[in-house]
């Protein structure tokens, strides 16, 4: 009788442990299936996994760093990526000043065939930016479809300004302190 009672308690403990493990596993599967803004396949994770090639006056700059520049400095930006999202990928390079003024440098669209892709642009620092801090941003959005010719870039307005209403994610590439 005592041996049977101990055996039942051990069985209940083991059942609770296994049941708890299954609950944790079910929760993990549910969370990963829902997808968060940084889950694999999300637009934010897509931007975060791009490979940036950033240069100021021909000198490589580490992504995420702050660099001192002067008016007239040449800034070259390039990203490489693979798009397997099943959607058109819209990307834009933007210079955003601390006073809220944004300058759209380029806006492009790529398909989702899984091939390697990339985009790039070069610009010079304007006199209007003297004494300002410029954040160099990569903006992104997934658009409908993935076949046929790419649609116009969702991230720009007809007058070539940033269309913030369509921005789904952004990545800070670097910060420029203009002297």
What are the extents of the domains in the chain? 1-34, 43-178
% of the chain beyond a pLDDT of 90: 58
How is 53-106 classified by DSSP, letter by letter?
Answer: EEEETTEEE-TT-EEEE-TT-EEEEEEEEE--SSSEEEEEEEEEETTS-EEEEE
Mean pLDDT over 87-113 rounds to 92
pLDDT tens digits for range 107-157: 998 877 666 778 899 999 999 999 999 999 999 999 876 566 667 899 999
Residue 94, pLDDT above cutoff 60: yes
> pLDDT digit string (tens) for 20-56?
444 443 333 333 333 333 344 689 999 999 999 999 9
pTM score of the predicted model: 0.75
- The CATH code belonging to domain 43-178 is 2.60.40.3880
Q: Residue 35 has what pLDDT? A: 36
């Amino acid at each position: 009788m005592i041996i049977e009672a101990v055996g039942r308690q051990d069985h209940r403990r083991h059942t609770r442990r296994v049941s708890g493990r299954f609950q944790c596993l079910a929760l993990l599967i549910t969370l990963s299936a829902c997808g968060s803004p940084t889950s694999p396949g999300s637009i934010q994770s897509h931007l975060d996994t791009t490979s940036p090639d950033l240069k100021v006056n021909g000198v490589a700059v580490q992504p995420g760093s702050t660099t001192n520049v002067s008016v007239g400095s040449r800034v070259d930006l390039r990203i490489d990526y693979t798009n397997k999202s099943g959607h058109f990928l819209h990307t834009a390079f933007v210079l955003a000043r601390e006073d809220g003024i944004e300058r759209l440098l380029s806006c492009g669209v790529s398909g989702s065939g899984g091939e390697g892709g990339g985009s790039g642009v070069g610009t010079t620092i304007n006199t209007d930016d003297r004494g300002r801090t410029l954040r160099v941003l990569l903006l992104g959005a997934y658009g409908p479809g993935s076949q046929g010719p790419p649609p116009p870039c969702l991230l720009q307005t007809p007058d070539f300004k940033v269309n913030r209403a369509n921005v789904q994610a952004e990545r800070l590439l670097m910060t420029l302190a203009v002297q």
